[in-house]
């Protein structure tokens, strides 16, 4: 059994930002030498997410608007702690903080339009994602 671990670091220019990390994940899979297995891609923060969907700018704007509708910036109890990012926690819960992807014949086994995204909901500070490959 082989494992391989990498960490990605982000410090986005915008408060919310959606970054295509498919190439980084594919690179980690290559470096791992794993032919058959799985790769976990997981945000290490509670105000960020990771998802698999289309790399299409219009859709990304749709998703951003939709998330703001379902989990709006608002006055939350959480803000009594001095934070003002309650909405980012809810957005993270909604889209989830991790995905796990199949590896077949040494490469990510994704469908034709599947791309891996890091979703930053409370940026402009240092955030991390862990990539952990496991297989043989």
Say how far apart CA 55 and CA 58 lie, in whole Å: 9
Cβ(121)–Cβ(51) under 8 Å?
no
Q: What is the DSSP string of 90-126?
A: HHHHHH-SEEEEEEETTEE---TT-EEEEEESS-SS-
13 lines the binding site for a second copy (CB under 8 A) = no
The nearer residue to a second copy, 15 or 128, going by C-beta atoms, is: 128
26 lines the binding site for a second copy (CB under 8 A) = no
Least separation in angstroms between CB 130 and a second copy: 5
45 lines the binding site for a second copy (CB under 8 A) = yes
The stretch among 14-22, 25-33, 128-136 that binds a second copy (CB under 8 A) is: 128-136
Cβ(103)–Cβ(37) under 8 Å?
yes
Other CB atoms within 10 Å distance of the CB of residue 30: 14
List residues near a second copy by CB under 8 A.
Answer: 1, 3, 5, 36-38, 40, 42-46, 51-54, 56, 58-59, 61-63, 66, 70-71, 76-81, 86, 89-90, 92-102, 104, 109-114, 128, 130, 132, 134-136
């Amino acid at each position: 059994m082989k494992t391989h671990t990498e960490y990605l670091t982000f410090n986005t220019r915008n408060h919310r930002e959606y970054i295509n990390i498919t190439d980084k994940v594919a690179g980690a899979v290559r470096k791992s030498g794993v032919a058959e297995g799985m790769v976990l891609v997981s945000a290490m923060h509670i105000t960020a997410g990771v998802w698999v969907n289309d790399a299409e700018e219009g859709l990304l704007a749709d998703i951003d608007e939709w998330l703001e509708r379902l989990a709006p910036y608002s006055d939350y109890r959480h803000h009594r702690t001095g934070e003002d990012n309650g909405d980012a926690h809810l957005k993270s819960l909604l889209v989830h903080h991790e995905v796990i992807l199949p590896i077949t014949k040494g490469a990510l086994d994704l469908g034709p339009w599947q791309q891996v995204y890091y979703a930053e909901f409370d940026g402009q500070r240092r955030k991390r994602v862990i990539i952990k490959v496991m297989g043989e």
